[in-house]
Amino acid sequence: MKRRIRLILTWTALSAFALAFIYPFIWLLSASFKPRSEVFDHRILPETFTFDNYIKVWQEAPLALWMFNTLLVTVLAAVAVTITSAMVAWGFAYFRFPGRGALFGVVLATMMLPGAVTMIPVFLIWNSLGMVGTLTPLWAQNLFGSAFYIFLLRQFFMGLPREPFEAAKIDGANNWKIFTRIALPLCKPAVVVTLLFEFQAAWTDLMRPLIYLRDSSTFTVPRGLKALLDQFGFGGEWHWEIVMTASVITTIPMIILFFLGQKHFVKGIATTGSKG
Amino acid sequence: MRFTETRAALLFISPWLIGFFIFTAWPVINSAYLSLTDYDVINDPNFIGFDNYVTLFEDPKVGLALRNTFIFTVMSVPAQLVVSLGLALLLNAATRASGFFRTAFFLPKMTPPVAIGILLLMLFNGQNGLINSFLAIFGIDGPAWTTDPDWVKPGLVLMSLWTVGASVVIILAALRGVPQELYDSALVDGAGWWRRTLRITVPMISPTLFFLFIVDSINALQSFTEAYTAFFGSGNTTYSNDAALFYTIYLFQQAFEFLHMGYASALAWLLFIVIMAITVVQILLTRRFVHYEGGQP
């Protein structure tokens, strides 16, 4: 009996919290279908149901272009960082060479460096290459791997048994083949986690687009959303319904991404904690 | 044999090695140099010694930004830890449907921070926001969260609790790793839920809580996007608010809005020192409360 009461209490608390966490989504989604005057009426179902906001956002902002820009940056960033981080992680996990421990220590140390320290000189590098204003600085750095993913993937590679690799070596497979044909496929869950994490990070980033993008036609969706907020939310116009609709459009791809890769997301994040 | 293995390893790690020199080592050196100059990108850097560092201590906005950032960190990090631990304990206690609730808690973490900044302005609007409408049900007259300088940071802290989903998932994984035998013997001894939680659960997952405490603090000290979206940016005079001026926002403004690259570099180094100092102090103060199964790692 006592057990039952406790279970009911747990469920009630969980449901209340879950509602509190989900409610902002429902509120936002619902507001995006309301006319301007009803946005703040807090009804779950709009009194006047309208698609106007979506049409207006589409007319006011080059959303399709922003989506395309973001998708381009996101895919390039995720694919680049996954391939190179996996390569580097494999280099650290499989081979034995002098200075390996020290060098890997440097990889870990770079994670401790606040982004603010390198932000300005890195901007100056892209500036001297004439790339400021293009999408390149948003992803090209990922061609050189990223410390966090190198760490994550290395942990995974270290957990693999050595026998299949030694056997392949005796069969005459070269190092690249061993990596791409045996190690990578065995490490698929970690590779998927890296892809998903970086996809999310690149899609949602605001700071780099703020630094590097100047012209509206090059904006990513979050950068465009900030511009819409500055124009329609502030700037004396108070068209919050436009801003909210654009927020919905920016968020939905990430929600879809989560449901596509839910298992990997949850597992990946749980591992991040235990490896710290 | 040894040589070929080293060569192969170097080939595999070469992307990181090259990237390290271009995007970390060189920028660190250059940033240290720039912090000793007056530089606006257009004209060549002008060496001025330690003037920027002297200015740092005289600039009232640096003090303000540091204070804002500390207050936010001190409020948000413990709040996030308590909430995520509470939610994880609840999830762990639920025998069924914990997957559904976990998803509910995690989804907000997927929201782009820009959208979170916008949601903050909407939900916490002093006149007709959802939060104050909810408080009104209980007869509470909610504050002007988005305009009153005293309430801007509490609003940002509450908003940050919405995205504790990742911490919940991490703590839940740690909870599931606590051996059941420990609870069984405690039950035999007649220990109640509170006692079991405080004496067994929390010590057993203390390495995870410690990890989150350090990482969350480092992140909070560098908060940028939510506050910048809501309270700064071109055309934003309505909600422009010094109470939300976090250190990274001030650094960003100095560097990319005023093009004070030298001064901003000095700001970056001060941030680096502050974060390092805080992290070291945190580690020294909390280490003895962390319980490692099988001794120190």
pTM for the complete prediction? 0.93
Residue B289 backbone dihedrals phi, psi, to 5 degrees:
-90, -5
Distance from CA of A103 to the nearest CA of B (A): 9
CB contact under 8 Å between B170 and A269, yes or no, is yes
Q: Is residue B37 part of a domain?
A: no
Could you give the number of structural domains in chain B?
2
pLDDT of residue A238: 75
Of A42, A103, A203, the CB nearest to B112: A203
Helix axes B98-106 and A240-275, enclosed angle (nearest 10): 120
Amino acid identity, position B259: L
Round to whole Å and give the CA distance between A164 and A172: 13
Structural domain containing residue B229: 60-289
- What does the pLDDT average to over A11-40? 93
Distance of alpha carbon A35 from alpha carbon A49, whole angstroms: 8
Residue to substitute from B110, B231, B292, interface A, most A β-carbons within 10 A: B110
Tell me the C-alpha distance between A256 and A248, whole Å: 12
User: Which residues does chain A have within 8 Å of residue B22's beta carbon, measured at their own beta carbons?
Assistant: 125, 144
Residues 6+ away with beta carbon under 8 Å from B17: B10
Partnered with residue B47 across adjacent β-strands are B37
C-alpha–C-alpha distance, residues B157 and A113, integer Å = 25
State the pLDDT at residue A24: 95
More confident residue, B181 or A137: A137
Domain identity same for B149 and B10: no
Say whether A27 sits in a helix, a strand or coil: helix
Q: Do B20 and A106 touch (CB under 8 A)?
A: yes
Q: Do B12 and A175 touch (CB under 8 A)?
A: yes
Counting residues of chain A whose pLDDT is more than 90, the rounded percentage is: 76
Q: Say which of B24, B34, B128 has its CB closest to residue A40.
A: B128
Determine the average pLDDT of the residues in A146-151: 95
In a domain, B297, yes or no: no
* pLDDT tens digit sequence for B59-76: 999 999 999 999 999 999
In DSSP notation, B243-284 reads: GG--HHHHHHIIIIIS--HHHHHHHHHHHHHHHHHHHHHHHH
Share of chain B above pLDDT 90, in %: 75
To the nearest 10 degrees (0 to 180), the angle between helices B98-106 and B165-176 is 150
Per residue in A65-76, pLDDT tens?
999 999 999 999
CB A86 within 8 A of CB A191: yes
Residues B7 and B122 placed together within one structural domain of the fold: no
Put simply, the chain B residues between 49 and 108 with a CB less than 8 A from any chain A CB are 87, 90-91, 93-95, 100-108
Please give the ipTM for the structure prediction.
0.93
Q: How many CB atoms lie within 10 A of CB B135?
A: 14
Same-domain check for residues B199 and B249: yes
Least confident interval from A1-10, A252-261, B49-58: A1-10
- Would you tell me the crossing angle of helices A240-275 and A147-158 to the nearest 10 degrees? 40
Q: Is the dihedral of CA B266, B268, B272, B275 positive or negative?
A: positive
B1/B98 same-domain check? no
Q: What is the CATH number of the domain that holds B209?
A: 1.10.3720.10
Cβ separation of B13 and A103 shorter than 8 Å? yes
Q: Classify the C-alpha dihedral A138-A142-A148-A149 as positive or negative.
A: positive
**Can you give the pLDDT at residue B30?**
97
Distance of CA B123 to the CA centre of its chain: 22
B positions 199-238 inside 8 Å of A (CB):
208, 211-212, 215, 218, 222, 224-225, 228-229, 233-238
B41 contacts A124 by C-beta, under 8 angstroms = yes
Average pLDDT over all residues of chain A:
92
Distance of alpha carbon A263 from alpha carbon B172, whole angstroms:
15
Q: What is the pLDDT of residue B2?
A: 65
Contact B130 A27 (CB under 8 A): yes
Q: Using CB atoms, pick whichever of B15, B171, B252 lies closest to residue A88.
A: B15
**Chain B residues within an 8 Å CB radius of A247:** 114-115, 118-119
Can you tell me the mean pLDDT for B13-21? 97
Residue A234 sits at φ, ψ, to 5 deg, of -90, -155
Mind listing the pLDDT tens digit for each residue in A32-67?
Answer: 999 988 888 888 888 889 999 999 999 989 999 999
Question: Does the beta-carbon distance from A269 to B171 stay under 8 Å?
Answer: no
Element (H, E) at B158: helix B149-161
CB A104 within 8 A of CB B16: no
- Pick the residue from chain A with its C-alpha nearest to B116: A247
CATH number 3.90.550.10 given to A54-275: no
Cross-chain Cβ contact B133/A204 below 8 Å: no
The partner residue sitting opposite B19, judged by closest CB among A117, A144, A210, is A144
Q: What pLDDT score was predicted for residue A99?
A: 92
The set of residues, in sequence order, having a beta carbon less than 8 Å from that of A232 and lying 6+ positions away, is: A60, A238, A239, A240, A242, A243
Environment class of residue B238 by beta-carbon count within 10 Å: exposed (0-12), middle (13-18) or buried (19+)?
middle
**Within this chain, do residues B156 and B20 fall inside the same structural domain, yes or no?**
no
Q: Which amino acid is at B12?
A: F
Average confidence (pLDDT) over A134-148: 96
The confidence score (pLDDT) of residue B297 equals 46
- Strand, coil or helix: B137: helix
Residues B10, B82, single domain; the answer is no
pLDDT given for residue A275 in this prediction: 55
Do A91 and B251 lie within an 8 Å CB cutoff?
no
Q: Which of A164, A170, A149 is nearest to A92 (CA)?
A: A149
Q: How confident is the model at residue B237 (pLDDT cuts 50, 70, 90)?
A: low
CA B266 → CA A126, B249, B250, B254, B271, distances in Å? Answer: 21, 14, 12, 11, 9
Q: What is the pLDDT of residues B91-106, one digit of tens each?
A: 998 877 788 999 999 9
B290/B283 Cα distance (integer angstroms) = 10
Residue B39 counted as domain residue: no
DSSP string, B34-97: HTTEE--SSSPPEE-TTHHHHHHHH-HHHHHHHHHHHHHHHHHHHHHHHHHHHHHHHHHH--SS
Residue B124 lies in a domain: yes
Long-range CB contacts for residues B173-176, cutoff 8 Å, separation at least 24: B173/A270, B173/A271, B173/A273, B173/A274, B173/B208, B174/A273, B174/A274, B174/B204, B174/B205, B174/B207, B174/B208, B175/B88, B175/B89, B175/B92, B175/B201, B175/B205, B176/B92
Least confident of A138-147, B58-67, B125-134: B125-134
Of B217, B198, B203, which is closest to residue B290 (Cα–Cα)? B203
The CA-atom distances, in angstroms, between A67 and each of A58, A196, A204, B113 are 12, 18, 12, 17
Query: What pLDDT score does B104 carry?
Result: 95
Distance CA B279, CA B219 (A): 11
Among candidates B11, B111, B114 on the partner chain, residue whose Cβ is nearest the Cβ of A226: B114
Tell me the pLDDT tens digit for each residue of A184-243.
999 999 999 999 999 999 999 999 999 999 999 999 999 999 999 988 877 666 788 899
| Residue B38's pLDDT band (cuts 50, 70, 90) | very high
> What angle in degrees, to the nearest 10, is found between the helix axes of B2-20 and A100-112?
20
CB atoms within 10 A of CB A262: 16
| Tens digits of residue pLDDT in B144-158 | 998 899 999 999 999
* Residues B121 and B258 placed together within one structural domain of the fold: yes
CB spacing of B95 vs A92 below 8 angstroms: no
Residue A137 to residue B248: CA distance in whole angstroms: 20
Which residues of chain B have a CB within 8 Å of the CB of A272?
Answer: 170
Is residue B276 assigned to a domain? yes
Q: Which residues pair with B38 in a beta bridge?
A: B46
- φ, ψ for residue B252, nearest 5 deg: -60, -45
Which tokens belong to B71? 């207050």
Residue A164: per-residue pLDDT:
87
Contact check, Cβ <8 Å, B239/A234: yes
Check CB contact under 8 Å for B172 and A270: yes
Query: CB distance from B133 to chain A under 8 Å?
Result: yes
Instruction: Provide the H-helix boundaries in chain A.
Output: 2-31, 52-60, 63-94, 100-112, 115-128, 147-158, 163-170, 175-177, 184-186, 188-204, 207-212, 221-228, 240-275
